[in-house]
Structure 1
Amino acid sequence: MALAIGNWSALNAMQGMDDAEFARWADLLERRTGVVVPPARKAFLVTAVRGRMRETGQTRFDDYFREIHKMPEGAIEWITLVDRLTVHETHFFRHPPSFDLIANEWLPRMVSSGSQTALHAWSVGCATGEEAYTLAMVLDRHISAVRDARVYFGVTATDVSQPALAVGRAGLYPRSKFNEIPGDYRSSYVDEIDEDTFAIRESLRKRVGFAQFNLLDVARAPLKRLDLIYCQNVLIYFARERRRDLLNSLAGLLKPGGMLVLGAGEVTSFAHPALSRVPHRQALAFLRNR
Structure 2
Amino acid sequence: MNTLQRLRAATGLNLSEETVERAVLGRMAATGIADRQQYDAGIGDTELAALVELVVVPESWLFRDPQAFVLAAAYTQRRLAAGERRLVRMLSIPCAGGEEPYTLAMALADAGVPPEAFAIDAVDLSTACIARAQEGLYGRNAFRGKDVSFRDRHFTHEGDDLYRIDAGLRRRVRFRQGNLLTTELAPARSYDVIFCRNLLIYFDVPTTAAAIARLAALLADDGILLAGYAEVPSFVQNGFTPLPYRQAFALRKDAAPDDGPYAGLPLPVNEVTAERRTRPQPAVQPRERRATPRAAVPRPPPAAPAAPVRACRCASA
TM-score interval, normalised by the smaller of the two chains: 0.7 to 0.9
- Do 2:106 and 2:169's aligned partners in 1 also have CA atoms closer than 8 Å? yes
Q: Does 1:24 align with 2:13?
A: no
| Partner Cα distance (2:232, 2:144) in 1 | 30
Secondary structure of the residue that 1:228 maps to in structure 2? strand
1:60, distance to aligned residue in structure 2 (A): 2.9
Q: 2:163 matched to 1:194? A: no
Gaps of 5+ in 1: 1-22, 69-73
1:47 is matched by which residue type in structure 2? Answer: R
Q: 1:151 to 1:27 in 2, by over 3 A?
A: same
**C-alpha RMSD of matched pairs (Å):** 2.5
Pair 1:261 & 2:236 matched: no
TM-score normalized by the length of structure 1: 0.79
Task: Specify the alignment match of 1:98 in structure 2.
Answer: 68
| CA positional deviation for 1:140 | 2.3
Q: Distance in 1 between matches of 2:102 and 2:146?
A: 10
Q: Which residue of 1 is the match for residue 260 of structure 2?
A: none
Deviations 1:205-264 (A, max 9, x none): 00011101111115x433541111100011111112211121122111112321111111
One of 110, 114, 132 as aligned partner of 1:141 = 110
Does structure 2 retain, via aligned residues, the 8 Å contact 1:189–1:201? yes
**Of the two, which has the highest radius of gyration?**
2
Which shows bigger deviation, 160-169 or 110-119? 110-119
The aligned runs of 1:62-141 (5 Å cut-off) are: 62-68=37-43, 74-104=44-74, 106-112=75-81, 116-141=85-110
- Distance, in Å, in 1 between the alignment partners of 2:192 and 2:8 is 29
Structure 1 residue 75: Cα displacement = 1.1
Q: Which moved more, 1:252-261 or 1:182-191?
A: 182-191
**What's the counterpart of residue 11 of structure 1?**
none
- The aligned residue for residue 193 of structure 2 is 228
Bigger fraction of residues in helix: 1
Question: Residues 265 and 166 (structure 1 numbering): CA distance in 2 closer, same or farther, change over 3 Å?
Answer: same
What percentage of residue pairs aligned between the two structures are identical? 33
| Cα displacement string for residues 95-148 of structure 1 (whole angstroms, at most 9, x for unaligned residues) | 1232233234x334323186643111111011111111111111222243xxxx
Corresponding pairs, count? 254
